[in-house]
Structure 1
């Protein structure tokens, strides 16, 4: 077993070699809870849910920490606008986030620390940095001296000179260097504050993750994750703080996922071009959103659009249809030991797990892994279309084993989790009318497909099945013939 991960720090894939053999320690930067979460947040949650699930499936113990930034400028500004306390606003949207994650089927991390519950740890870390000359107090604030940290800019690939030339740095007369960043912010009227050796105030954004990752995972751990927008300044500043204080290496591997875009522009609340998770789940099942997200490699951008979501829904229906066709079959059949599945077909079905693992071991390539799902589903449908009325036990065993593998590995991506999908509620005639079909249309196409199968015209048979699937109708072949059902929506 050898899993390789693209390390933003080295700009290359590196083998996962946990500091503690068999135990992966993972820290991911979580949300700032001041509004409902959008699809970009969903991608982050789903990507690292997939990573944790896969590592556990491969036998690793995983300690997964994801924080809440529950004190921040955005929270304060929104709370003032709404006329509520910042803490109450943060608590409300943490609860809403948890509701969204439950709807998506995201497993909760092992620890979900909140910044406001770790003020003493942050103050202790700031004092260490001051003792080492890496931080200084000025005007009630405390700043980090970036020029004193030799490796500053290593993660983002920038130099201090480049940053100074290209950045729009907030003017602050008390700073020694315009690039120095706040570790502690002196109290202002109407803002939450805590006591500190430098007077009342609140922590800067970056210090919280350094303090909380150290508390729960130690000074040195295996993987730090987040979106690409966090590379600079957040993660760059975390490195400066954590390595500056401990003298150790901090995170060994840095994972950053790509943006979700709308018309090739990053989805964000500041741009006003976002769709909330709830907007999407009101129209599409959670597994459809999952399949859409995982259809691209996690490091690549992915453009959100209705066509892509529709295609994901059709693809998911195709996978369910193949699995459910097999699950409708008996476990045993005739004693014909040869069966109708060829040697090549047997090898293809048996090799699905290996191909899946190879894709996922290579930097969690879910897009390639999903390709293997669809190839296997297609191969299964071709076998099912040729299956005789009384199939051999050997064929049935191979089919059930393949369907079980699809279910098992699909679960790592959060797919194929429904043991039995119920028919949608509502009158059949009304639902067919909405699809532009009648039962007579479907039965006619089933008859055409039966004739094509009898003539061994498998291409025509597949085309009819796929045509109906695209219209929202799934066919199921069984010992008593072919039945149909609505695709889950």
Structure 2
């Protein structure tokens, strides 16, 4: 294994080398539990679930910590609006989080700490910063003084001078610098509060993650992750307060996933294109044909650091691509001949495994990893046509399950969207002239996707076979200049 991963701190891809041989310690910022999770939360959770799975598949013992922020202004506001205690809100949405992520096959973290369970550690860390002169007290509030940490801005590549110039006028005048941030907030009437050396209060957002990660992983650990929106100020502030307190590097690799767009627009409640995970499963145009594996496949089809465009068409393509795999699995479950025909299975599997690992080692390139599986699917389909043995079919299915497990795919025994027709679709023009089938739109779309995939990997023979097969059954493909295709009967 030679995993190279993009480190936001250094701005380049680096060979991943954990602090301890065969052990990885990873912390990922979780959600603030005051509402249902949206598609952006799903993407972040999935990225680090796959990173964890891949590291484990390479023999690493992974300690994975993902927190819940369960004390926050938004939680307090929601609790006041509903006339309930804050813990009633947080308990509800933590349970909802586990339900939603469970649908996507996202595994529970090794540890899932809550901020309210680590008040003692938060107070202790804040006391360290005050004692070192890196934080100051104003009334019952405690602020971190960014000017006292010369390296502030090294993660986000921002300078303190620029930040001060761009700061809004209506900042808290009690702060020594506009970018100073709260480590501890004095309590207000009706808010949850805990005892501290500075009086009743509650922790600031940034100090929570530093205290929880160091409690469970140590003062320095391997990987810190989250969405790109957390780079500044959250992760920048984590570095300042953690390194300031310990004098040690905080996390060695900083990994961030990209944003989600809806039909090429930024996801926003004001634009009316904001979807929770639950809405995706319940929305009328998706609900009858939506599974967690379809959504998972879709999310993995774009590199984790790039923007992800969520659309009805993208979900449809993900479903059709999965249909192609599960149609193959249906064929593999049938008995083959006694003789081992369809030679080359071992070589095809070896090629796929090597290409799959190379893709994952290349900064977790899941789209390319999926493409290697699509290539193996095409190869195995051809071998079945030639007469793949029962033993060969079993081995092929095991390989798909093994590689799919790294991505969290191909683990469904009964796939409700597969087509019995598509399992017996003719694969060449000779078969097409003798076997007359009535293709439905789903089968045609599936074959068009397979043809496009074949053309992308320059397997023009296979692409032409699909075109001829469709033509023999009265379906004409029209290729457009932009690379897309349309069809008509």
TM-score category (smaller protein): 0.7 to 0.9
State whether residues 292 and 312 of structure 1, in contact with CA within 8 Å, keep that contact through their aligned partners in structure 2: yes
Give the gaps of 5 or more residues in structure 2.
448-489
User: CA–CA distance in 2 between the matches of 1:253 and 1:226?
Assistant: 12
Distance 1:101 1:145, change over 3 A: same
State whether residues 318 and 469 of structure 1, in contact with CA within 8 Å, keep that contact through their aligned partners in structure 2: no
CA deviation profile, 1:135-176 (whole Å, cap 9, x unmatched): 000021100010010110000000011112234365212111
Q: Which residue is equivalent to 1:266?
A: 266
Q: Which residue is equivalent to 1:106?
A: 106
User: CA–CA distance in 1 between the matches of 2:428 and 2:300?
Assistant: 38
Q: Which residue is equivalent to 1:313?
A: 319
User: CA–CA distance in 1 between the matches of 2:122 and 2:89?
Assistant: 22
CA shift, 1:6, in A, is: 0.5
User: CA–CA distance in 1 between the matches of 2:436 and 2:59?
Assistant: 42
User: Which segment is superposed worse, 60-69 or 277-286?
Assistant: 277-286
User: CA–CA distance in 2 between the matches of 1:143 and 1:310?
Assistant: 50
Q: Which residue is equivalent to 2:20?
A: 20
Q: Which residue is equivalent to 1:482?
A: none
State whether residues 7 and 14 of structure 2, in contact with CA within 8 Å, keep that contact through their aligned partners in structure 1: yes
User: CA–CA distance in 1 between the matches of 2:91 and 2:409?
Assistant: 30
State whether residues 152 and 160 of structure 1, in contact with CA within 8 Å, keep that contact through their aligned partners in structure 2: yes
Is the counterpart of residue 470 in structure 1 residue 445 in structure 2? yes
CA deviation profile, 1:267-286 (whole Å, cap 9, x unmatched): 25576531111111232100
Q: Which residue is equivalent to 2:395?
A: 401
Q: Which residue is equivalent to 1:326?
A: 332
Aligned partner of residue 137 in structure 2, secondary structure: strand
Distance 1:167 1:325, change over 3 A: farther
CA shift, 1:419, in A, is: 2.5
User: Which segment is superposed worse, 242-251 or 75-84?
Assistant: 75-84
CA shift, 1:28, in A, is: 0.2
Q: Which residue is equivalent to 2:404?
A: 410
User: CA–CA distance in 2 between the matches of 1:190 and 1:400?
Assistant: 63
CA shift, 1:464, in A, is: 6.7
Distance 1:98 1:346, change over 3 A: closer
Aligned 1:190-339 pairs, distance under 5 A: 190-268=190-268, 273-282=273-282, 283=287, 284-330=290-336, 333-334=338-339, 339=341
Aligned length: 441
Distance 1:168 1:381, change over 3 A: farther
CA shift, 1:73, in A, is: 0.9
CA shift, 1:462, in A, is: 12
State whether residues 36 and 97 of structure 1, in contact with CA within 8 Å, keep that contact through their aligned partners in structure 2: yes
User: CA–CA distance in 1 between the matches of 2:86 and 2:273?
Assistant: 25
Q: Which residue is equivalent to 1:11?
A: 11
Aligned 1:349-368 pairs, distance under 5 A: 349-368=349-368
State whether residues 36 and 276 of structure 1, in contact with CA within 8 Å, keep that contact through their aligned partners in structure 2: yes
CA shift, 1:95, in A, is: 1.0
Distance 1:92 1:454, change over 3 A: closer
Could you say what the CA RMSD is over the residues aligned between the two structures, in angstroms?
A: 2.7
CA deviation profile, 1:199-221 (whole Å, cap 9, x unmatched): 11110000000000010000000
TM-score by length of 1: 0.84
Give the gaps of 5 or more residues in structure 1.
425-431, 433-438, 473-489
Distance 1:149 1:226, change over 3 A: same
State whether residues 139 and 174 of structure 1, in contact with CA within 8 Å, keep that contact through their aligned partners in structure 2: no
User: CA–CA distance in 2 between the matches of 1:280 and 1:257?
Assistant: 21
Is the counterpart of residue 180 in structure 1 residue 180 in structure 2? yes
Distance 1:8 1:471, change over 3 A: closer
Aligned partner of residue 426 in structure 2, secondary structure: helix
